[in-house]
Amino acid sequence: MKALVTGGAGFLGSRIVRLLLDRGVDVTVCSRHATKHEAQSARHEVQDVDICDAAAVSRAVQGHDAVIHCAAKAGAWGPRREFFDINVGGTRNILAACHEHGIKNLVHTSTPSVVFARGLAGGADESAPIPARHLAHYPRTKALAEREVLAANGINGLRTCALRPHLVLGAGDPHLLPRVIAMARAGRLKQVGDGTNRVDVTHVEDAARAHLDALDHMKAAAGRAYFIHSETVALWPYIGRVLERAGLPQIERCVGIRTAYFAGALLEAAWRVLRLRGEPPMTRFVACNLAWPHWFDISAARRDLSYEARRTAQGALDEFFGLEEHISRRDAEARRETASV
């Protein structure tokens, strides 16, 4: 099999690429600035492709049997145009290229945020509806992309499915854990809500393996979306473990969800009207994610994809901080060697 992985130079995509290579699959990494990531370039083809460039995407997809579409713009804040162009427009380019070149299988990386809304019960399954409105451009555009991917199932012989891994963590995480640590170091991290909300955590290796499970079971998975996780944890005690490992003090300040939500709405308005740079210190989407439960039933993934978690939330922390400590020691040794010279 020959597979193309969009976003294959990224945190999750690079793990998927490695697992495919270990199976002997002929892999093409498709990503912006992918050639800067040379660690595995001898084992696979690397292409610098802007997912928003339809012609470039078509050229990249041609000649493959399957596509795993990981490339996306994530985040709680940013210009609507960027989220729409990458998450929706880029996915449309992938779908068009798959139809044009007769691709048989497409696995799309989605997110549980597409169904995240007030009143969503913990333990919800894939029958949870996508709400009419979202609190940020990221879940809104990912929901649009997921709908179009699943609607394309069966057209021109293409089989599609979507995976919704939640809070993907592990060694080399460039997003979630560094963000929590940076906020804590800046003194801006407060507990939102009563601290009892539970959330799903997905070890990056489990998230990557789920994509291969989907490829292996596309007949059963075709046209469907699946929640994926490694473990469900209490969010704020888990954040407490992150701070402890980072050598930071525990959170002492807390704020109610209504206060945080109202503050987020005001800050969003100020950032828009004044056209301020960067991200507001609080948004409605972040406030709700920090206070509400968001954990999901993965029975369907177990049944249809034979998916089983092999890693843990604690393992994700151990591996993240293990790599960080290794990098710190390596950099310290390099500085000592430079100083001695």
Report which of 82, 69, 64 is spatially closest to residue 27, judged by C-alpha positions: 64
Q: Where are the domains of the chain?
A: 2-247+280-321
Average pLDDT over residues 301-324: 93
pLDDT tens by residue, 107-129 = 999 999 999 988 787 899 999 99
Q: Is the Cβ–Cβ distance between 206 and 146 less than 8 Å?
A: no
pLDDT in tens, 128-142: 999 999 999 999 999
Sign of CA dihedral 303, 306, 310, 312: negative
- Residue 328 to residue 171: CA distance in whole angstroms: 14
Q: Looking at residue 130, what is its pLDDT?
A: 94
99-103, 145-149, 277-281, 327-331, range with the lowest pLDDT: 327-331
138, 226, 261, 307: the active-site residue: 138
Is 261 an active-site residue?
Answer: no
- Most distant CA pair in the chain: distance in Å? 65
Cβ atoms within 10 Å, residue 204: 24
pLDDT tens digits along 219-267: 999 999 999 999 999 999 999 999 999 999 999 899 999 999 999 999 9
Q: Kindly state the average pLDDT of the residues 292-298.
A: 95
Tokens of 204: 């990056």
- Look at residues 120, 10, 123, 116 and name the one whose alpha carbon lies nearest to residue 68: 10
Are the beta carbons of 133 and 198 closer than 8 angstroms? Answer: no
Kindly state the tokens that stand for 10: 């990224």
pLDDT above 90 as % of the chain? 84
Per-residue pLDDT band at 324 (split at 50, 70, 90) = low
Q: Report the pLDDT value the prediction gives residue 48, as an integer from 0 to 100.
A: 85
Please determine, looking at this structure, whether the domain spanning 2-247+280-321 carries the CATH number 3.30.70.580. Answer: no
CA angle at 50 for the pair 64 and 139, rounded to the nearest 5°: 95
Q: What is the pLDDT of residue 273?
A: 94
pLDDT of residue 59: 96
Kindly tell me if the per-residue pLDDT of 323 is higher than 80: no
Residue 18 has pLDDT above 70, yes or no: yes
| Mean pLDDT, residues 156-169 | 97
- Alpha-carbon span 230 to 153, nearest angstrom: 27
- In whole angstroms, give the CA distance from residue 77 to residue 37: 27
Does the pLDDT at position 39 exceed 90? no
Reported confidence tier of residue 2, pLDDT bands at 50, 70, 90:
very high
Encoded amino acid at 322, one letter = G
The DSSP code sequence of 29-64 is: EEETTGGG--TTTTTSEEEE--TT-HHHHHHHHTT-
Mean pLDDT across the chain = 92
- The pLDDT assigned to 245 comes to 94
Residue 339 has pLDDT above 90, yes or no: no
Residue type, 30: C
pLDDT in tens, 179-211: 999 999 998 899 999 999 999 999 999 999 999
